[in-house]
Every structure is written in C-alpha cells, then in structure tokens.
Chains A and B, each alone.
Chain A
Amino acid sequence: MKLLTGNDLKSGLVIWWTGDGWSPRVEGAVDAGDQGESILAVEEAARRVNASYIVDAEGGMPVHIKERVRAAGPTVRADLAVNPDIVIEKA
C-alpha cells in the first residue's frame, strides 16, 4: 500500500493523508493506491501540505525506518513523541 506524507506548511509538522484531509498521526493514514501523485498535486497547490511524497507501507505502517521515525517522533525524547508505540526496527 501507499501512504502520503508531507509537512504542514505553517508549522512544519509531519502530516499523513487520511482520505479527506491530513492528520499528524499515521494511524489515520489511508492507502492512496495509484492516486498519490494526483492527490498530492491538488493538496500542494492548495498549500494544505508541503514537501510531500509517497511512502511504501504494509499494514498501515511505512516500510522504511525513516518514515517510521517520522511517524513516531524523535525516539530519544519520549516527551516529544507523536506515537512512542511505533516499532522502529523491523523484526
């Protein structure tokens, strides 16, 4: 599956495409299928997302460690985590 991520233009915070908007939490992200490019074009133009890109995912979680850290927040600052329960390392 394909997730869409980017940053909020004003705050810079990481956001994920939920199907009808953007959420800071990856748990709300939906599979964009083959619509990623076209959704991002519309959303970028409307400035609802910045520096967006398409992410490979399995079971709602990004495959690559970099996007899992993006979804989790810094792993060394529990107080600043978005979701500390996300497993960073693949089993």
Chain B
Amino acid sequence: MYKYDNYDQAMVDARVQEFRGQVERRLAGKITEDQFKPLRLMNGLYLQLHAYMLRVAIPYGTLNSGQMHMLAHIARKYDRGYGHFTTRQNIQYNWIKLEECPDLLDELASVEMHAIQTSGNCIRNISSDQYAGAAADEVADPRPWAELLRQWSSFHPEFSYLPRKFKFAVIAADEDRAAMRLHDIGIQLVKKDGVLGAKFFVGGGMGRTPMIGPEIRDFVPAEDLLSYTEACLRVYNRYGRRDNMYKARIKILVHEIGADEYRRQVEEEFAHVKTLGIDPPLAEFERITEYFAPPAFSADADAKLDRSDPDFAVWLDQNVKPHKQDGYSIVNISLKPIEGISGDASADQIDAMADIAERYSFDELRVTHAQNIVLPHVAKRDLHAVWSALRNEDLADANLDLISDIIACPGLDYCSLANARSIPVAQKIAKRFENLDRQRDLGELKLKISGCINACGHHHAGHIGILGVDRKGVENYQLTFGGSGAEDVSVGKIIGPGFDEDGVVDAVEKATEVYKEQREDGERFLDTYRRIGVAPFKEAIYAK
C-alpha cells in the first residue's frame, strides 16, 4: 500500500483546515449557499434528496484494514450506521451533518484519506482492477501507475477546471475487470518485446451518450506515460465544448473530430510536452512501486481444500478466484444479499471485513466497480475460516457475477437527479431469482440498473440493463440488452417500450427463459443474445 509522504499529508491536512473555516463562515452567514456550494463540492459534500451526502475517494479501490475500520467508525459516528460502496470504487455516506463534516474529514485524514476531487470538473479518483497485484493474468501491477497518476492529477492546476469531469481506469490484463473502455481515458499496461508500456483508449463513457473509447496509441513506453497523458488532457482542455454541458465530455470531442484527428493533435502536443521533463525519474517511480511489493507469501502451495460442506463448495466455485501465487486465492465478498441494497454495508460489516482482511489477507481490501469487496490475498488453507467469518456477518452470498449480483445506483431513494427508484427493482429481481441453483444454471449474467440517464449504475454495460425514466410523473423502466463492460465491451440496445416495476421483473424473467431454450453449450446470456439477436426475446416479452 502506498504511504503518504510529508507533502501528501500536509496537503490533505491543510485542505481540511481550509474547509473548516469555510463551513464556519457558511454557518455564521458570512457566505451564501451560492458561494459555499462550489467549496463544499470540492470537498466531496453534495446536498442530495434527503440530506448532505459525502463521497470519499478510495484510490484505485485499495484500502488497508485501518482505513476500512475508519470507514466503519465514520458510518457509526457521523452517519446512520452504514455506507454505500459505488461503481467508482468509492464510498458514499448519505446522512452527514454539515457542522460535523470538518471533524469527519480530520479523522479521515488521520488514515491518509480524503474527499478531494470526488466532484466537479476535475480528474476524479483513478479506478483500477480490483485484482491488481494478485491476478495471474496481469503483465504488471497497475497500482503504482494509478498512484503516479493520482499524484500527478491531485491539485494539478491546469486540469482543475476542465470542460467536464474526467475519469481514468488503469488495468494490466487482457481481461477487463474495470470497464476500462468506458472511461474518459482507459489505460491498459502491456508488454511489447519484453518492454513495459501502455495502450491508450480515449473518449469512452456512459451517461446520456454512451461511447466505447477508441484506441489512440497501441504503445506508450512507460517512461512517457505522464507526458502522453498530459498531452491527451491538453488537447481536450483546449477544444472540449464548454458551451454545452451535455457535449462537454472528452468522448464528444473525440467523436466529433474523429479518433485520427484527435490522435494527430495529441502526438503534436506530446512532442512538445516531452520537452518539459514532467515524467518522473526512474528512482521516484521505483520508490512508489516499492509500496506495492507483494506481501510475504508463505502458504503451503499444495494445500488441499475440504469441500465436504456443500455451501462452502458453492461459495468457492462462485466467489473465489485463482491467485498468481500458488497456495493463495482471491476472495470476493458479495454486497448483494437477496433482500439487501447493492453496495451498502453496515458499520459492523465494514469492521468485520477489516478484521478478516487484517487476519487473513495481509491487511488489504479492494472495492470493485460492481460494488463488492475483495480480499486479494487469502491462503487456501484459510479459506474455510474466512468463509465462516463472513457468514457470521451475512457476507457469504455465493452470487458473484450471477443475476442477483446487480449493480444499482442509489436512484430516487437517495438521489436528487433520479427519475425512478433503482433499489426496489434490484431487490424484486434478486428475490425472483432467489434460488441459487437457478441463478447458477443461468450462469454469468450482469444486470445493471440506473435511476436516470447519467448511468451511474452502468446500465449501458449490462448484459441486461435497466434505465429508470419518468413517464408523466410515474416511474417507468426501459430494458436494454447486449451491453458489456468487459473486454468484449459493447453498449446495450433498448429492446422496446418500457415497463412498470413489476413488468420489468417479469420481462427479465422471460428473457432468461428464452436464453435457456436457445443457449448452446457454454454460451452465456450475452453470447446467446449476440448470436440470435433481439427478436426472439422481444417476441416472448411483448407477447399478448
């Protein structure tokens, strides 16, 4: 894990002090809400449907146990005993009091965390592969690169007022576990002739105009990474549309001028930026990389697992993934219990996950874009103990990547931009498919729900996507099929007229029946849909 140096800590501490003064002035009436709003947003504090909401950054989704305990402490002391893990690998608290927020941020800073750049038209928290440093298929650990980008982008004066918000994802494997191509800049670390570098994809995104980022460069040598990134941002900062909020994301620029022209301009800018010497010396990069050195693995490589408990065996098959180190595994903790709320965890559960990570996962946890938690390094011999400990906290649902592992944004239950509720729809679908055997028979099926076109719930990337719309003041739900946020990335297509809440649950069920009738060996829902097209699904769903 990265450790703050004196600069990092001083910057964060100074920011909390500054915000404390701003809050005092607001409470004393010395500044108006219009003056204060941009200041609180710069510190992650939104005003939502019911109360203030605080978004805390979790850099590339990586946490240690102490930080996780702090998140639980904040939920208990400053909120109503829970937090919401988001698709951007962050956590949001829904009930923060303005007058207490500076104290909260002080406590957060004591564990090297903050809420800076979690709002506004700046470079937001960098997201990454939740299996970084543990996955067998990565060419390098992406986290040192994500950390480098974090340092470069923190308070970067040139990029603190971009045309619109800006989101990065950095991965290092061909399997895309971070929806990389749906980010403003997606970076995939690759090796070419044994040399490490990066592929750049620029101009992806969701929202009202979903786009898959085209490849802009197939290989940027590692030593040029920051210069090249800076060139990408500069071209956007210069030409991005500031006249129209809906056209201000970089995806619109890349789309309007075309990937070739954008690439040409970036190359031109890059030639100039490279003369400025902003790429860090190798020694600095090595300093950062040391913080991410693999832990002291020591487990018996050929530990045998006792699979005699069937519930444990199912959880192993569904939620536990291979690790690059023999004798170890990656454990996924589902935050999607059948009656629960996607991504929500209670303070007690957060504490329990922190304890389990401390004891069994070298003190490390990850937040995933699918709103789950990962224990990246668990010895195989400890898997049963981990499972038992998770089960005691209702955290052992064996539904990873199944139909009940639904991404759902807060929707109209919490969000002031929403058209419709997301959570109750997710709950009804999960309940309908409660039987785990039935879910496992359906196999991998990624269902994602957003309560409005902003697409925080990634519905465009759902094998089945659901979008809440307002139809004359009544909640209505559109279905999209065929999206994917993985390496087979695609944007889902609307299948036809929308449904009410129960109607959409029925429609999803009918779609799964069509899939079961039509699937060929080894096909997932998405594969069958891609092969046979939408017609058979529509026929079944809209049949009178």
Contact = CB atoms under 8 A, between A and B. Distances in A.
A41 to B, nearest CB: 12
Contacts of B95: 12
A80 interface: yes
A11 B51 contact: yes
Contact of A65 (B341, B414, B475): B475
Interface string A2-13: 000001011111
Contacts of B33: 44, 50-51
Nearest to A11: B97
Contacts of A11: 51, 97-99
A11 B36 CA distance: 16
Contact of B47 (A7, A75, A90): A7
Contacts of A69: 49, 412-413, 421
Given A12-B52, A13-B50, A76-B413, A65 B474 contact: yes
Nearest to A7: B47
A75 B341 CA distance: 12
- The majority secondary structure among interface residues of chain B is mixed
B50 A74 contact: yes
Interface in A54-69: 63-66, 69
Interface in B295-322: none
Given A69-B413, A75-B421, A14 B474 contact: no
A84 to B, nearest CB: 13
Contacts of B52: 7, 12
Interface residues of B, number: 30
A25 to B, nearest CB: 13
Contacts of A75: 413, 421, 424
Contacts of B51: 7, 11-14
Given A10-B99, A12-B98, A90 B49 contact: no
B508 interface: no
A65 B473 contact: yes
A10 B50 contact: no
B343 to A, nearest CB: 12
Contacts of B414: 74
Contacts of A14: 49-51
Interface in B416-431: 416, 418, 421, 423-424, 427
Contact of B97 (A12, A77, A80, A89): A12
A73 B424 contact: no
Contacts of A65: 412, 470, 473-475
B29 interface: yes
Given A12-B52, A12-B97, A12-B98, A76 B423 contact: yes
Contacts of A89: 474-475
Interface of A: 7, 9-14, 44, 47, 50-51, 63-66, 69-70, 73-77, 80, 89-90
Given A69-B413, A74-B414, A75-B413, 6 more contacts: A7-B47, A51-B33, A66-B49, A66-B412, A77-B341, A89-B474
